Amino acid sequence: MPLMKNVYGLTRRRLLGGVGAGLALSLLPRAAHAADDLDDLIREQMAAAQVPGLAVGLARDGEVAFARSYGFADLEQRRPVTPDTMFHIASITKTVTATAVMMLVDAGRIELDQRVAPYLDFTIAGEQAATITFRHLLMHTAGISEEVYYQTDFRTHGADASLTIDQLLRDYLAPGGRYTGTGNVKTVPGTHWAYSNIGYGLLGYLAGRIAGQDMRVFTRDHIFRPLGMRHTAWTIADTPADLAVTPYDLVDQAVEPVPPVGFPDWSAGMMRASIRDLTQFVAMVANGGVAGDVRVLSSAHAAEMLTMQTPEGLSPWLSGQGLAWQQSSLGGVPRANHWGGDPGVFTMAYLDPAERKGVVLLSNLSATGESRDALKSIAAKVFEAN
């Protein structure tokens, strides 16, 4: 139902001040005024960009230094964001999928430069498709075109997708598939960068086949549980209603609710996670693959994920592409990062592996120019102040 046209007018103080910062774990600011300055900036930026709810996390030395929450998970119910509120993290999901693949590399089950074809139960159409490797998929250089993907709405609105990931992949990649045509591998693998959701759908499917269990089960057992990530889910159905955020969009400058979306290539962007949980995951990545006494990845493979290259065709706003993780400037400093965006959600995760720090931001408003600038300003401030 339509919401009030001016969420940030008469209600601005209540929305951003009354709820304030919901503090999880221990807040460890360098000085009290630094925390106050950060809170002030966050409130100002949320108001300027009309962001209903936001969660901010700082990872340091393999631990969650803080996980803070602001605004509302649901405006109509006046339900506040908390550190356990579960946001749709969208394409940051790809970093989890890549981690699962690298765990299989760690275990000696696969090698990064192996071709993926022997691990599939269908053939990918196209002359060059047989040369696609795991590294190509991880780096978005497999040559898979998403032109047809973006012309076709594979999403289910308000629920998880009914189309399975294996059927999607066969429909899109296999000879004779519904959307394959003459083949959707359009460039020679390894020669050109093109961001690919289908590629990460394929990685999730491959990881499940190689691990001998659905990758969602594998990540639950080998990443989420060991790291203590108790408020993380792969589906809308598995996200408790009292922890789920309502997604919002701006319609004629009014904040309006939109239904959550489910799509079949879940390993590319379907995860839901709380700020506390996702910051714990980022803490592990920024700390060389280990968080506390839990090692998820070898230090060598954790470092390799963050080793940046500049393949031909790399998006101009990026200065590097690693294994899932990308690099771009934040406050004038090149930082490994990944963003996520879907209807009603915009997310960011940034890393500083040299300082073993990471910053995570989760919001429940579709990406806009204003929200992009707001979240980047907040992320830069968190690095600066901590």
Given a contact cutoff of 8 angstroms between Cβ atoms, the answer to whether 55 and 361 are in contact is yes
Q: How confident is the model at residue 35 (pLDDT cuts 50, 70, 90)?
A: low
**pTM of the predicted protein model:** 0.91
Q: How confident is the model at residue 260 (pLDDT cuts 50, 70, 90)?
A: very high
pLDDT in tens, 299-330: 999 999 999 999 999 999 999 999 999 999 99
Reduced to 3 states (helix: H, G, I; strand: E, B; else coil), residue 267 is: helix
Measured distance CA(258)–CA(242) in Å, rounded: 17
Q: Mean pLDDT across the stretch 339-357? A: 97
Q: Mean pLDDT across the stretch 230-239? A: 98
Q: How many CB atoms lie within 10 A of CB 58?
A: 26
Measured distance CA(54)–CA(290) in Å, rounded: 27
What pLDDT is attached to residue 169?
A: 98
State the DSSP string of 220-256. IIIIITTTT--SEESSSTTS-TTTBPPPEEEETTEEE
Q: Mean pLDDT across the stretch 134-161? A: 96
Given a contact cutoff of 8 angstroms between Cβ atoms, the answer to whether 233 and 239 are in contact is yes
C-alpha 61: how far from chain center: 21
Q: How confident is the model at residue 37 (pLDDT cuts 50, 70, 90)?
A: confident
Q: How confident is the model at residue 22 (pLDDT cuts 50, 70, 90)?
A: very low
List the one residue out of 10, 11, 16 whose CA is nearest residue 378: 16
What pLDDT is attached to residue 386?
A: 83
pLDDT in tens, 173-230: 999 999 999 999 999 999 999 999 999 999 999 999 999 999 999 999 999 999 999 9
Model confidence at 289: pLDDT above 90: yes
